[in-house]
Amino acid sequence: TGDPALAIIDWLIEGAPAGIAMDIPSIGVCPDKEDDRQLTVAELEAIAQDHGNYDSLEDHPRKEEIMRDLMDPEKDWVRVCEDLEQTRAYLGGLDPIVSPLGVATKEVHDKQGTVTAVKDRLILDPKKSRSNHAARTRSRIVLPRCIDAVDGAIVVRCKAISDDLDVVGRLIWLVLDLGDAYWLVPLHPLERRFQVVRWKGRYLVCKRTGQGTKASSLTWSHVSAALARLLQSLFARDEA
């Protein structure tokens, strides 16, 4: 098979790069772009600070619940270290680069405008720690448009006609809404020192790609695109 996911499927076991310690490969899914690092790792280390979290987290009425969910050992999203010495030991003797953490809260409304649910999303801010300045992403994410769905449907129909398959009423539409999407992708151990936050004196080392980092949207795009192609392969050629 020549699927582009062959270049990135190991991320699900070994962890994805974040463009700092490891480059993100161009696999032909997203168009290339010019990009370079604004800081070296040595320069990043020289300006590193112990950044505190934003008020959106520290003053949040559900902060304890939010952080318990993040640190849930069954989810294995972060490694909780009690102090700097333990953190360095986990990171192979290297110092962590600490970024502040914040919360974006979104209300979900029904058709009558009534609030039916509230979603809290943790956002890492590597811009503050300058970790994003040491990252490089040489691919540009292109978001899907409505016309892309139309084009895709036409391609499937045309292929079905050329293969003498049924073209009436067979097209299947599937929409996926994945919760905690970024936290589903493992982060490579070499990149983890650049995605660290503090909470009540402890260090939380991210083991998954944190939302807010320069590369996490790109690596998630590669993984989600692979997921879409795998799902499509489960349907007949005239269905999806």
DSSP 157: H
> What's the chain's average pLDDT?
91
Instruction: Identify the three-state secondary structure at position 57.
Output: helix
Give the pLDDT band of residue 212 (cuts 50, 70, 90). Answer: very high
For residue 16, give the nearest of 133, 226, 185, 227 by alpha carbon.
185
Residue 237 has pLDDT above 70, yes or no: no
Give the pLDDT band of residue 48 (cuts 50, 70, 90). Answer: very high
| Nearest-angstrom CA–CA distance, 156 and 172 | 10
Provide the pLDDT for residue 169: 61
Q: Can you read off the two tokens belonging to residue 18?
A: 């974040």
* Mean pLDDT on 113-117: 87
Render pLDDT for 69-89 as a digit per residue (tens, 0 to 9).
999 999 999 999 999 999 999
| Nearest-angstrom CA–CA distance, 39 and 46 | 10
Render pLDDT for 151-199 as a digit per residue (tens, 0 to 9).
888 888 887 778 777 666 667 787 888 888 899 999 999 999 999 999 9
| Nearest-angstrom CA–CA distance, 92 and 95 | 9
- Global confidence as pTM: 0.87
Between 70 and 113, name the one with better pLDDT. 70
Provide the pLDDT for residue 54: 96
* Mean pLDDT on 104-113: 88
Residue 3 has pLDDT above 90, yes or no: no
